[in-house]
Amino acid sequence: MPKPTSTSAKTKKKPATFAVAILAAGKGTRLKSSRPKVLHEIGGKPLLAHVVAAAVEVVPPSSIFAIVGHESERVCEALRSTGISFILQSEQLGTGHAVMTARAALQGFDNVLVLSGDVPLIKAETIARVRDFHVASHAAMTMLTAEPDDPTGYGRVFRKIVRGKETDEVDRIVEQKALRGKELQQREINSGIYAFAAKPLYAHIGKLGTDNAHREYYLTDIAVLLRKAGEKVLALRADDSNEVLGINTRMELAQLDAQLRNQKAGELMLAGTTIFRPETCDIDADVEIGTDTVIEPFVQLIGKTRIGADCRIRSYSIITNCEIGNNVLIRPGCILEDSVVRKGAQIGPYSHLRPGSDIGEGAHVGNFVETKKTRLGKGSKANHLTYLGDAEIGEGVNVGAGTITCNYDGVNKNVTVIEDGVFVGSDSTLVAPIRIGRGAYIGASSCITEDVPADALALARGRQVVKAGWAEQRRTKARAQVK
C-alpha cells in the first residue's frame, strides 16, 4: 500500500493578533451578595478564574484583559497570579461601555475575543473555534450562540432568512425584556462570547445608545450598527449549550457547580480513577488523581489536592490541598489539610491532619488522632486518641494510645523531638521542648518534662500502692453502720 503523502497546503501569512477581553465589572445584583459576582465560586474556584484558565490556552496572559469595576481591588487580588492585565470600568454602564473603556488596550490588536466573567464553563477549544471561524469568514463580528433547554433571561439571536432558509448572518439581537409576541418563542440565545475585528468594532462602538430597558450601552447593539455599515456579522452555534450557560442567580451557581463537578468526575473516571456515586462527591477543578485509586461516596477533594495511584479514599473524608502518595488508605471520616501523606501510609478512621503534617512512608495514624506541623517518620504509628503538635518523630516509633505533646506553654509553641525506634507508652504527656533519644522507652502514663537519653527507660508516674484486704474491710465496716 502506498504511503499517504502529506499535503502541505499551508500558506505562510503573518498571523492575525488576538486579544481577549473578559467582561467582569458587573455587580451581579441578582446574586444578592456583597462579594463581586465573578469571585463567587464553582468547582472551588472563582468564576473569573475558570474563564481565565480557558483563555490562557488560546492567547498568552499578556494579551488578556479583564474589565473590572465593582470591588475591583478584590477581583485583581484574587486573579493577580494569573499574569493577566486589568482595566478599570469605574462606572458600569453596560457591556458595550465596558468594551469602549478598554479601547486603548485593545485597538492595537487585529481582533478581540470577548468573553463573559459570568459564563465559566466555556472551553478553550470553543474559544478557538470562534476565532478560527471568525478569521476564515472575514467577519467583523462573530457571536457564539446556543439553544439551551430554557432560553429565558438571555438575549435572543435572530438570523437573516434568505428564501425561507436560515443563514449564518445575524439580523438582530433582542434582550429578554424587549422580546415581544412571537419573538418570545425564539430558542437561539446569545452566549455573550464574541470575536470582533478591532477596526470596525472601534469605528462604530461610539454610536451605541442607551435607549433600552436598562438605560445601558448594550454590546449586542453593535451587531445592527455593523450590519448597517455593510460589515459581516455572523452567528456560530456552540456544539454543547451547557458550555455557555451564564450565572445570574444562586440557583444557576449551584447548577453549574454540580455540572462542573460531574464533568470533572467524568474526566477522572475516563483517566482511570474509580469514583463510586460520583454525584455525592465534591472534587475541585484542579484536583489530580492517579490510576486505580478508588474514591468512595461522599468524599470531598478540595483545592490543589494530588492523590497518587492505587489509593482508597473512604467515605466522608475531606482532603484540602494535600499531597497523597501511592497506595495510601484513608479510612472514613478523616479531615486532612495542607499536609503530605507518603506512600503506603494508612490514616483514620477519624483522623485530623492539620496544616504542616507529613506522614511518612507506611506510617499509621489512627482513630481520633490529631497532628499539626508534625513529621511522623517511615513506619511509625500513632493509632489511637493522640495529639501530636510541632513534633519531629523519627522512623519506627510507636506512639501509644492517648499520648499528648504539650506543645504550647501559653506563649510559645515548643518542639517535641522523638528519635528513631522510640516506644512511648500509652497515656503519656511529653512537655515540650523535649527530646526523647533513639530507642528509648517511656513507661505508660508518664509525664515527661526532661530529655530522655537514647535507649533509656523513663518512668514519671506515681508508684502503685496495694493494700491487701482493704476493700473487704471497708465493706464490712459500712454494713455495720447501716444497722
258-280 residues labelled b (16+ CB within 10 A) or e (exposed): ebbbeebbeebeeeebebeebee
Count of positions on this chain that bind ligand UD1 (CB under 6 A): 30
Q: How far is the CB of 311 from ligand UD1 (least distance, A)?
A: 39
Residue with the shortest CB distance to ligand UD1 = 155
Give SS3 for 31: helix
Q: Judging by beta carbons within 10 Å of its beta carbon (0-12, 13-18, 19+), is residue 18 exposed, middle or buried?
A: buried
308 binds ligand UD1 (CB under 6 A): no
Q: How far is the CB of 246 from Ca ion (least distance, A)?
A: 4
Binding mask 15-34 for ligand UD1 (x = CB under 6 A): --------xxxx--------
118 binds Ca ion (CB under 5 A): yes
Looking at residues 147 to 186 of the shown chain, list those that interact with ligand UD1 (rule: CB under 6 A).
154-155, 173, 175
How many residues would you count in the chain?
Answer: 483
Query: How far, in Å, CA of 189 to CA of 141, rounded?
Result: 16
DSSP designation for 1: -
Q: Judging by beta carbons within 10 Å of its beta carbon (0-12, 13-18, 19+), is residue 377 exposed, middle or buried?
A: buried
- In the residue annotation, 50 being an active-site residue is answered as no
93 binds ligand UD1 (CB under 6 A): yes
| Of 96, 148, 151, 246, the one binding Ca ion by CB under 5 A | 246
192 binds ligand UD1 (CB under 6 A): yes
Q: Where are the beta strands (DSSP E) in 263-311?
A: 274-275, 282-283, 288-289, 294-295, 300-302, 306-307
- Asked whether the bond before 349 is cis by omega within 30 degrees of 0, the reply is yes
216 binds Ca ion (CB under 5 A): no
Give SS3 for 245: coil
Binding mask 246-265 for ligand UD1 (x = CB under 6 A): x-x-----------------
In terms of CB distance, is 248 or 426 closer to ligand UD1? 248
175 binds Ca ion (CB under 5 A): no
Q: How far is the CB of 309 from ligand UD1 (least distance, A)?
A: 40
| Residue span binding ligand UD1 (CB under 6 A) among the ranges 113-121, 235-243, 361-369, 467-475 | 113-121
- Sheet bearing 429-431, strands edge to edge: 282-283, 300-302, 318-320, 335-337, 352-353, 370-372, 387-389, 404-406, 429-431, 447-448
In terms of CB distance, is 254 or 459 closer to ligand UD1? 254
Residue 80 in grid coordinates: 493577580
Angle at 135 between CA 133 and CA 137, to 5 degrees: 65
| Of 377, 284, 290, residue with least CA distance to 326 | 290
| 363 touches, from ligand UD1, Ca ion, none (C-beta below 5 to 8 Å by class) | none
| Residue span binding ligand UD1 (CB under 6 A) among the ranges 92-100, 263-271, 359-367, 418-426 | 92-100
Among residues 70, 97, 134, 384, which one is catalytic?
384
Site residues (vs Ca ion, CB under 5 A): 118, 246
The residues binding ligand UD1 (CB under 6 A) are 23-26, 37, 67, 89, 92-95, 97-98, 116-119, 154-155, 173, 175, 189-192, 218-220, 246, 248
Q: Which residues are catalytic?
A: 384
